[in-house]
Amino acid sequence: MQVSRIALVATLLGTVVSCCAWAAQPTQTSEQRAQEAAERARILGLPDTPGTGRFPAIKEEPASLPEHVLYRPANLHALGSTKLGIYLFGNGACVDDGASSRLHLLEVASHGYLAIAPGRIRSGPGATQPPRPAPSSQSPQFNVKSSYKDLLSGIDWAVAQNADPKSPYYRHIDTTAIASSGYSCGGAQAMRVAADPRVKTLVMMNSGLFPDGQSASIPEQDVRKAALQLLHTPVLYVIGGETDVAYANSQNDFEHIEHVPIMVANLNGVGHGGTYWQPNGGRAAAVVVAWLDWQLRGDKNAARTFLGADCGLCRDHAWTVQKKHMD
């Protein structure tokens, strides 16, 4: 099995979780290591982007929510009557670098959402903590330092902030509009959180549950397929095509989910690295925003991206779409 250069770099940044992909890598040459180091440095040096939405976004470590990174519109007063939806995001590899998917999360936040990721800012601009040691192809160890419980604490924090007259978020949050999401290992965390009755939709990013027994020794990924039966909301899987190491697991999940609306959207050819490091999170982030606008805000225009035989994604040849119980 080969992993794309982007996926390898993403792993170095603590965003890819496939131990199987790493284990299959041949011993790297000095030239390959140098190329990866150069690409890692380039990505670390990418500036934060404010997103393409109406509310330019920023990231921060709020004192009232320790060990989390928050992505939000920079000017809360500009929201007007818009209420902030909540987008909980489990990091790839379940690391504690809450900036490891920052371009994706800034894009989501710019459309009027609070995106909450576990950890501290350990990469990119404004890093407040040193990065964890990166795994290597010779030693594919994971720095699992976050928990699905961190996503649940994000919900509790947002609900409390919305009710606190002293909080800058007082009455700015729609506490009924909560999405659980995550990248790779973070998707397994999101799956656990999706059982919470406060969650209104689940977004699995380059992720899927392992068959029972295959993930028992992988922290945070030891989620049995029975968790699929606990889902009570519509589900979107965003996968990187057949070269994505999560492809087979996502297909298996799709086959097992029969009781809630589900769509699997494959962006062909991007692999497990997705589009996280493309400007404003790339095509995948745009699809996630449309899904959130539909599921959390009832936006009919956004719904056209997903509904009907001629849905927006159905007509876009870059994507392959599967869906059940949606139309």
Mean pLDDT score, 127-150 = 73
Burial of 274 (0-12, 13-18, 19+ CB in 10 A): buried
116 has a pLDDT exceeding 60: yes
Higher pLDDT, 167 or 29: 167
Q: What is the pLDDT of residues 6-44, one digit of tens each?
A: 444 444 444 433 333 333 344 668 888 888 788 878 888
d(CA 96, CA 106): 17
Burial of 70 (0-12, 13-18, 19+ CB in 10 A): buried
113 has a pLDDT exceeding 90: yes
What does the pLDDT read at residue 220? 82
What does the pLDDT read at residue 142? 58
d(CA 267, CA 264): 10
What does the pLDDT read at residue 43? 83
Identify residue 18 by its one-letter amino acid code.
S
Q: State the total domains in the chain.
A: 1
Mean pLDDT score, 193-222 = 88
- Angle (CA) 202-204-207 rounded to 5° is 150
Q: What is the pLDDT of residues 121-137, one digit of tens each?
A: 999 999 999 887 665 54
What does the pLDDT read at residue 20? 35
Domain that holds residue 48: 5-324
- Angle (CA) 48-142-184 rounded to 5° is 60
What does the pLDDT read at residue 110? 98
138 has a pLDDT exceeding 90: no
* Residues forming beta bridges with residue 118, ordered by sequence position: 68
- C-alpha distances in Å from residue 196, one per residue of 2, 58, 104, 230, 254: 37, 28, 24, 9, 20
Burial of 249 (0-12, 13-18, 19+ CB in 10 A): buried
Mean pLDDT score, 83-93 = 97
309 has a pLDDT exceeding 60: yes
What does the pLDDT read at residue 135? 55
Mean pLDDT score, 143-151 = 89
Between strands 201-205 and 173-183, the pairing is: parallel
Cα dihedral 219, 67, 207, 37 in deg (nearest 10): -90
Which helix H or strand E contains 19, and what residues bound it?
helix 19-23
What does the pLDDT read at residue 4? 43
Identify residue 284 by its one-letter amino acid code.
A
Q: What is the CATH number of the domain that holds 10?
A: 3.40.50.1820
Confidence band (pLDDT; 50, 70, 90) for 143? low
d(CA 238, CA 192): 18
CB 211 within 8 A of CB 193: no
Mean pLDDT score, 158-187 = 97
Confidence band (pLDDT; 50, 70, 90) for 204? very high
Confidence band (pLDDT; 50, 70, 90) for 217? low
d(CA 222, CA 245): 17
210 has a pLDDT exceeding 80: yes
Helix 148-163 vs helix 185-193: crossing angle, to nearest 10: 50
What does the pLDDT read at residue 160? 98
